[in-house]
Amino acid sequence: MFNFFRSFSDGRWKSGWGLLLAGLLLLTVGFLFLSIKATDTAASLAPGKPAPSPGLKKRDVRSELAPEDQKLRKAIQSLSPKGIYAVVDTAKNRLWLKRGESVVYEAVVSTGSGTTLTDPKNPDRRWLFETPRGEFRVQSKIRNPVWIKPDWAFIEEGEALPIDARDRVEGGVLGEYAIAFGNGYFIHGTLYTRMLGQNVTHGCIRMADKDLEVVYKSLPNGAPIYIF
């Protein structure tokens, strides 16, 4: 063995044994290096054990984002209406009067049924009884409103359309107050208070008399109404 290493050190690099030993040494060193790296990598990726981050200091992200959060909150608040406004949830059938982010009044309502009516004499005429969604404004306020019955009201009841326009006028069915918010839609009273909280209307928003009075007196002309 001693003679072998001595001959190796004497410069006999072309010896078959010398080349074999050199190859074995390189393979051994390489294997040990890869084993150590694999162990380190596996440990760093073990569940529940974060990978080491040499030289990286822990950051307080929450405190860094606080100024941006405050800016965003102020921007959102600046978009809110300055005065009182109404918000209507057609899924939950609720109406809220709000001032800023504060709720000042809440009421149960009824909104559109989502059903469709087709004129049996003219299938091309259809009506979708749905409360519109979006941003609206109080366009007018009416005391003791009367209902001018549209064609669908007669068709729904299986009645012939009246020749005299006066036969379309019906009082006492909309309550004491009505708030128009565009395209023939109103917030108004109802004779069917037992059905409040349900999606049963032809598109208007129905309310109990006491709640309607509060909303009527609280919302001025031009006040926003948000419906979703």
Splitting the chain (228 residues) into consecutive groups of 10 residues, what average pLDDT does each group show?
Answer: 38 40 43 41 45 49 63 65 95 98 97 96 95 98 97 95 95 96 97 96 98 98 98
Nearest to 225 by CA among 118, 86, 125: 86
Same domain, 193 and 93: yes
pLDDT attached to residue 60: 57
Same domain? For 102 and 150 the reply is yes
Question: Same domain, yes or no, for 90 and 140?
Answer: yes
Residues 103, 177: one domain? yes
Would you say the C-alpha torsion 185, 186, 191, 195 has a positive or negative sign? positive
Q: What pLDDT is attached to residue 46?
A: 45
Residue ranges making up the domain that contains 29: 2-44
The model's pTM: 0.67
Any domain includes 50: no
Cβ–Cβ < 8 Å for 226, 211: no
Structural domain count of the chain: 2
HSE value, Cβ hemisphere, 13 Å, CA-based, for 22: 11
The answer to whether position 30 is within a domain reads yes
Q: Are residues 117 and 195 in the same domain?
A: yes
> Domain check: are 92 and 185 in the same one?
yes
Q: In this structure, is residue 57 part of a structural domain? A: no
Based on the domain organization, do 9 and 89 belong to the same domain?
Answer: no
For residue 215, the domain's CATH number is 2.40.440.10
